[in-house]
Amino acid sequence: MIEGFSKQALTFHQTTREVFVGGSGPPIVVLHEVPGLHPGVVGFARRLTAAGFQVWMPSLFGTVLRPVGLRYTASSLRMACVSREFTTWALGRSSPVVQWLRALSAHAHEVSGGQPVGAIGMCLTGGFALAMAVDEHLAAPVLSQPSCPFALTPARARSIDCSAEELDVVRQRGVCVLGLRFTGDRMVPTSRFRFLRDTLGDRFEAFEIDSSLGSGIKPWAHSVLGVDFVDEPGHPTVAALERVLGFFGEHLR
């Protein structure tokens, strides 16, 4: 269904999902954004395989390869919000689906012969990579525009969908974490990245793209590596991609 990727039906915790696997090298779990596994996310995955990584890409919601549209995005977001698998509102909790994703990353670790694993979450799945980093084999978590819990109050803005216990494990492990956001993105407020810096110290690296008025970036830009990625030399999103590739190379090779 996705050229260059094999489709596998993998079952963990009594739940079966489609997972698309492509490339060779250190494994990276790619968690798609809302509304689903759209062509922009697949394009990002292809850049990872071209850089010498193996991608494990589960379909969590939406329709595989369906282009992004307003109605499609709204319906996918609505379904995710009411699903018991995803925690979009609660403070201090990771989503139940993270347990399945941890099992997937453990499987990728085993299949790859014990290589360390990377993970990147985007938008609604942005914080999942952080919660997955409680496992010893998860060596490189990337949080691209982590949007949960929805920042409707100051407390939710200064938080992320990961329990205090999981955060403590990640901190004790000394794992380096990379975060990406546009500075004007209200779904990923400055206070969320400040919270991550306060919690993880210098182990948290923030790559923030100026999207203020006059910056040349749309003020409503949100999806750093997907919908709002601009594949032009010198564009800030290309620099963000290069940093992600460098981060994975530093911690997985």
pLDDT category of residue 27 using cuts at 50, 70 and 90: very high
pLDDT 10s digits, 33-73: 999 999 999 999 999 999 999 999 999 999 999 999 999 99
pLDDT category of residue 188 using cuts at 50, 70 and 90: very high
Long-range Cβ pairs for the range 213-222 (8 Å, 24+): 217/182, 217/184, 219/184, 220/184, 221/182, 221/184, 221/185, 222/123, 222/145, 222/182, 222/185, 222/187, 222/188
Judged against a pLDDT cut of 80, whether residue 185 lies above it is answered with yes
Judged against a pLDDT cut of 80, whether residue 82 lies above it is answered with no
Judged against a pLDDT cut of 80, whether residue 90 lies above it is answered with no
User: Which residues, 6+ apart, have CB-to-CB distance to 86 below 8 Å?
Assistant: 80, 95, 96, 97, 124, 148
Cα–Cα dist 165/92, whole Å: 9
b/e per residue 35-60 (b: at least 16 CB within 10 A):
bbbbebbbebbbbbbebebbbbbbbb
The pLDDT value recorded for residue 93 is: 81
Q: What is the mean pLDDT of residues 123-137?
A: 97
Determine the CATH number of domain 6-252: 3.40.50.1820
